[in-house]
Amino acid sequence: MMTGGRESLGAALAALLASSATLVCCVLPAVMVSLGAGAAVVGLITTFPQLIWLSEHKAAVFGIAAVLLVLSGLLLAWARRLPCPLDSDLGRKCMRLRKFGAQLYAVSVGLLVLSGLFAFILPRF
């Protein structure tokens, strides 16, 4: 029997992973340079050259992250309508997982918005 607790947590974790990719590609380097840590950014890019590819294709990265967030949000909404177990202990755990999943999803959306601000809006100023 599907309770929706683990499924919604998995969807929220996928959303967090997708939004974290946007954070790493765009926000982290911008914040480090603005704080005067340009040498650290160079070291980071030397260690992880994939960051250059992520930065060059940031529109695709943001698009994929947004699609994954929408799918995760739909899955969270679907799982919220599923019944929790009647056992009081399992029912509390189910509700706690749902609440944690919703909070994790909200953090993911916030990270995507913050990343979009740093990647697309602030560079124009």
The residues spanned by each domain of the chain are: 5-9+11-120
Residue 71 token pair: 């799918």
pLDDT digits (tens, 9 = 90+) for 42-57: 887 888 888 788 778 8
Q: Provide the whole-model pTM.
A: 0.72
Inter-residue contact 67 to 19 (CB < 8 Å): no
The pLDDT assigned to 120 comes to 85
